[in-house]
Amino acid sequence: MAINIKNNIEQEKMRTAGHLASEILTMIGEHIKPGVPTKQLDKICHDYIVNIQNTIPANLGYKGFPATICTSVNHVVCHGIPNEKTLKHGDIINIDVTVIKDGFHGDTSRMYLVGKTTKQGERIAEVAYECLCNGIRVVKPGNRLGDIGHAIQNHAEKNYFSVVKEYCGHGIGEIYHDEPQILHYGTPGTGIELKEGMTFTIEPMINSGKAAVRLLSDEWTVVTKDHSLSAQWEHTILVTNNGYEVLTLAPNETI
């Protein structure tokens, strides 16, 4: 398995792409409200990426995906396709965006709570974010991929939630989905050793019910089998000489 180690110039390009991706998710936040169709959110993001940032929307047309962002609402786990259905009070939504700048990808997603929230929606979004942070915090040279997965799985299950196992994080750089695969479950001390200069995403999908999922007939949208809520957060990570750097941080976010 060949894993691409980024040099200093490539790392700087990854920083730029990551910052731009994060900027989109900050921009779109004020537009997420009851009555707004997810297709409108997609248009706003697309126009911002193309006309304001002068970057390339990586998702649009990728393996046939028909939109710029993924909009995964409530029981949709990932890869939700924007459509004319409007958001309503109490919904939770994940928006996932990837941009290409100077040939390098920046990939990130966030959860948003729509209108008058529910305690269940708030809780699953909160725990999913904590799972992401726990996975990130164990990233450093010499640790292994299994350490990341274990940190995520342990926190989710401790809070009586489950981890989706069919989908994972991935290496990223000039290639959108590269090696290695970043599983969100695992055993400490197992898997590939982390090395300085690796870049990859961590993007745990956490369900409030059982872990089982199914793929809808559009061959993109993944939902929970038991119709329980699902939440996901994603960051692009660089392994540094003594730990990690989060390349897609939101403003005022610390991990």
Residue 205 amino acid letter:
M
Backbone phi, psi, residue 50, to 5°: -80, -45
**Architecture category of domain 8-246 in CATH:** Alpha-Beta Complex (3.90)
Give the sign of the dihedral formed by CA 51, CA 251, CA 106, CA 109. negative
Q: Where are the domains of the chain?
A: 8-246
Residue 251 preceded by cis peptide, ω within 30? no
Alpha carbon distance 30, 188 (integer Å) = 40
Q: Write the CB contacts of 142 (distance below 8 Å, at least 6 apart in sequence).
A: 193, 194
Q: In what order do the strands lie in the sheet with 244-246?
A: 178-182, 169-171, 199-202, 235-239, 244-246
pLDDT (tens digit, 0 to 9) for every residue of the chain, 255 residues total?
689 999 999 999 999 999 999 999 999 999 999 999 999 999 999 999 999 999 999 999 999 999 999 999 999 999 999 999 999 999 999 999 999 999 999 999 999 999 999 999 999 999 999 999 999 999 999 999 999 999 999 999 999 999 999 999 999 999 999 999 999 999 999 999 999 999 999 999 999 999 999 999 999 999 999 999 999 999 999 999 999 999 999 999 999
Q: Please report the pLDDT score of residue 1 as a whole number.
A: 67
